[in-house]
């Protein structure tokens, strides 16, 4: 048995590894969904002992693929990765839709979430908000930090933020970099971006929002 001292952040990683929405995850633990929301909002929170035990049980009963996803999510970045390019990504939700840009990438087109490079000393959260507007004309506000990872293809350190739509029409404001901008039904997201390329906490957050 692995000995884990659970925090809000680790609990959220376990939720993402199970690919569960907040309500389903809360139901499996026998807690109110607001408790799970609190872990997302305050990742440094240490759950009480009975909740630690419930998280232990859920982890111990998890199948091998879930444990593998969990291990990958909690793995700290290496020193080399810490010096890598940092990118902030905005996952913008409006009702049951998510905002995507169709990026011109090495001669081909691919659908992605709005994103921008974070300069040394800059704020990833601010960049996520600014780039969403710069690329699409949409004003957004960050709702929660979905976590960070080293991108498996680019090697960049990616910071992911769930953001809510505030105002503005979605238009392609960066035609040199992007071919199109579109609101996509959350239920159809994997038709635009393959599921295995989506950071698991994004899937969990979108399932909860749908």
Residue 82 neighbours by CB under 8 Å, 6+ apart: 157
Provide the pLDDT confidence category of residue 76 given band limits of 50, 70 and 90.
low
Mean pLDDT, range 173-192, rounded to an integer: 93
Phi, psi of 160 (to 5 degrees): -110, 135
Q: Is residue 137 part of a domain?
A: yes
Specify whether 65 is located in the same domain as 121: no
Look up the CATH number of the domain holding residue 97: 3.90.79.10
Q: Say yes or no to pLDDT of 115 above 80.
A: yes
Number of domains in the chain: 2
Q: Is residue 138 part of a domain?
A: yes
By percentage, how much of the chain surpasses pLDDT 70? 93
Domain that holds residue 63: 8-74
What tens digit of pLDDT does each residue of 126-168 get? 999 999 999 999 999 999 999 999 887 777 889 999 999 999 9
Specify whether 140 is located in the same domain as 54: no
Specify whether 157 is located in the same domain as 177: yes
Specify whether 27 is located in the same domain as 62: yes
Among 28, 43, 74, residue at a domain's last position: 74
């Amino acid at each position: 048995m692995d000995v884990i001292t659970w925090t809000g952040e680790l609990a959220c990683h376990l939720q993402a590894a199970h690919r569960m929405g907040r309500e389903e995850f809360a139901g499996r633990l026998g807690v109110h969904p607001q408790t799970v929301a609190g872990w997302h909002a305050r990742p440094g929170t240490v759950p009480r002992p009975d909740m630690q035990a419930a998280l232990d049980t859920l982890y111990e009963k998890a199948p091998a693929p879930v444990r593998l996803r969990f291990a990958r999510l909690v793995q700290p970045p290496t020193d080399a990765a810490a010096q890598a390019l940092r990118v902030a990504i905005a996952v913008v939700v409006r009702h049951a839709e998510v905002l995507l840009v169709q990026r011109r990438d090495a001669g081909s087109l691919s659908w992605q979430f709005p994103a921008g490079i974070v300069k040394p000393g800059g704020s990833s959260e601010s960049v996520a908000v600014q780039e969403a507007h710069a690329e699409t004309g949409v004003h957004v506000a960050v709702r929660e930090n979905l976590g960070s990872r080293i991108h498996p293809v680019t090697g960049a350190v990616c910071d992911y933020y769930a953001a809510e739509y505030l105002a503005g029409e979605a238009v392609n404001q960066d035609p040199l970099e992007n071919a199109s901008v579109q609101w996509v039904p959350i239920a159809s997201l994997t038709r635009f971006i393959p599921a295995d390329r989506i950071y698991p906490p994004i899937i969990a957050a979108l399932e909860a929002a749908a």
